[in-house]
Structure formats: structure tokens, C-alpha cells
Amino acid sequence: MIDLRSDTVTLPTPAMRRAMFEAELGDDVFRDDPTVNRLEALAAEMTGMGAAVFVPSGTMGNLASLLAHAGRGSEVIVGDEAHIYHYEAGGASALGGLVYHPVPTNPDGTLPLEAIEAAIRPSGRDYHAARAGVICLENTHNRCSGAVLAPEYMARVAALAARHGLPVHLDGARIYNAVVALGRSITDFTRHVTSMQLCLSKGLGAPVGSLILGEADFVDRARRIRKMLGGGMRQVGVIAAAGIVALTTMVERLAEDHANARILAEGLAGTPGVDIDPATVATNIVIFRLADAEQARALVEAVKREGVLVWPFGANRVRAVTHEGITADDCRAAVGTIARALGQVMARA
């Protein structure tokens, strides 16, 4: 199978498996798992943020961060195409009493500054409106074809947030894809946010886990919320070890995923019936459109039978994601399979 459904399907590398086998372990809830402690310290140092806490998933990382920032009844200002808004089961509302306040998302993943400003309710004695609690950004942006938010844009959001005394949380599940795509330092991005969630199990290839990063007092609150959410883990160094390998050996190779995504996008652009602009593919996520939702569903099933897995992405959209283990030849083969299957689907229509 050529599995392009997501970069979450990566398997741990041999180096990760060795590190997991040899990991020194302790009880992380007591803060005495040395491997987890090394991972958290390494992540904080690499990102230039004060501290880190290891969590089982990016969804928990985002949820714990929002709950650490904002009290019940506060608003989470978030893009209407954000992963937090679409794919995290409404956890901030269901478990934290927070209110999502979506604002329009531009095709490049940015949120209009004027829309963010307008979403911030007056903070005087108006008891009718819920007050803003936190502003959320996503980098890279999943539903916007892996778009990269430039540090300069993030700086403008940070300045706006500072005027209103609000924190900025970054869903940075794929932040290292942004780092590699722009050739910038990760601190160019992180210096403009109050907190960040960083996923180890996507393009970085670890089998499980994410990190919450921020200043020490914030991370301490997030650690308590992690426990409340059932995320307090014990001898978890056995998976944290893979996270250390991910951060120290897997970042630069993300450029290969970006190059392969461009091969895929350019090949699909020449396929009759496919709507895609390769110029919009900046990292490892390729989203293309077909005539309608029925055709998209039929194509997903047709290519699966021929050994290519892609993901239906709402309405008439299909997503393909490159990652470690997917080669340039795989992408060329996938283009051929998609073209052949789509021709058959269109002929039957």
C-alpha cells in the first residue's frame, strides 16, 4: 500500500525502536522518569520556551492548553478552518465550558487581523457578552493544504493580543514543517506565542505523543489539567525515548516530504478532472478537488482497491499527505493510479 491518508501512519524508525528498548524508566507522575524529563527539557531548549510537558496526543495538548489559559464561559477565538474547531470533538466546550468564537480563515491559513479584533468583546461592564480568553493559530494549517504562517504575520497577531491582554496559543502540530519550508529558526515562530502544542507522531515519525510548551507557570497548570483529563502516565519514557530521536534526527528530512508533495501536486495538476494549484502546496499536505462529493468518495474507494490510500476531506475534496516512508516513486505511482481510477469513475458517471 502507498498510504497517503496522513503523516500519522508513520512507523518508528530502527533508531527509535532501539531507544525505546533501552530507555531508562521511572514514574512520570512523580516526575522521576528520566527519559521524559530529558525529552521535556530538550523540547523547551530547542523551541526557546520555558518548559514543556509530555502528553499522549495533540488533541489533549490543545485542550489542556486552552483550559490552562481561559476560565469557563470565556471565548476561544479560532479560525473556522482550524483543527481545534473541526477535529477535536468540541472538547473545550464539553469539558472546559469554553465557547468557540470562529472567525474566517484565509486560504493561506491566516486569520484577518480585523476579524480577530472584532471577535474580542468589550471588556467593560457589559454583562451580556462572553469575554475573550485566548486566540488560537495553526501552523502549518491542515485544512489549508499545509499552509505556512510566516513569523511576521504571527508577530502582528501577538501585538494585537498584547493590546488586549490575551494569550496566543499555537496548534503547532506540524510547526517543524513550517520551520523547514521557510528555512527559519523555530524560535522565529515561538517567540510570538504564549503556548504551543507540538506533535511528535506526524512528520517527525514517533509512534505517539505531543508536547505542551510555554512558560513554567503555564506548563505547571497544563500538567495539572493533563492529570485531570486522565493523561498522567507512568513509565512513559518507553515512548518518550522515540520523541527524543524524533526531535534530534527527523527534522531536516521533512524537506523530502515537501519535495515529494510537490511531485504529487504537479502530477495531479495534469490529470483531467482534478482541480489543484501546485503553488498552494508549501509543505507535505496535498488537497485536490473533484467535480462533486460523490465523485470524491468513489475515487477514494477506487484507488484503495489498487493499493493507494487517500482521505476524503469534506465535500468534493481529497487529501494526500507525504511522510517518512513515502518516496518520490511512490508519489509518481500514486498519480498514475489516481488518474486511471478517476478516468474510470468519470466514465461510469
210-214 and 51-55 as β-strands: parallel, antiparallel, unpaired?
antiparallel
Amino acid at 317: R
C-alpha dihedral (141, 147, 152, 156), degrees to nearest 10: -40
Q: Which position has the grid cell 520523541?
A: 243
Per-residue model confidence (pLDDT) at position 21: 98
The crossing angle, in degrees rounded to 10, of helices 293-305 and 328-348 is 120
Task: Measure the CA–CA gap between 110 and 168, rounded to whole angstroms.
Answer: 14
Task: Measure the CA–CA gap between 315 and 218, rounded to whole angstroms.
Answer: 39
Per-residue model confidence (pLDDT) at position 314: 86
Which pTM value belongs to this model? 0.96
C-alpha dihedral (86, 87, 92, 94), degrees to nearest 10: 100
All structural domains of the chain:
11-249 (3.40.640.10), 253-348 (3.90.1150.10)
Per-residue model confidence (pLDDT) at position 128: 83
pLDDT single digits (tens) 290-347: 999 999 999 999 999 999 999 999 889 999 999 999 999 999 999 999 999 999 988 8
Per-residue model confidence (pLDDT) at position 90: 96
Q: Say if residue 140 is preceded by a cis peptide, omega within 30 of 0.
A: yes
Query: How many residues are listed for the chain in this entry?
Result: 349
Ranges of the chain whose pLDDT falls below 50: none
Task: Measure the CA–CA gap between 78 and 109, rounded to whole angstroms.
Answer: 11
Closest CA to 244 of 25, 12, 38: 38
Per-residue model confidence (pLDDT) at position 324: 94
Per-residue model confidence (pLDDT) at position 25: 97
Question: DSSP string of 184-253?
Answer: --HHHHHTT-SEEEEESSSTT--SS-EEEEE-HHHHHHHHHHHHHTT---SSTHHHHHHHHHHHHHSSTT
Per-residue model confidence (pLDDT) at position 215: 98
Q: Is the dihedral of CA 181, 186, 192, 194 positive or negative?
A: positive
Per-residue model confidence (pLDDT) at position 124: 64
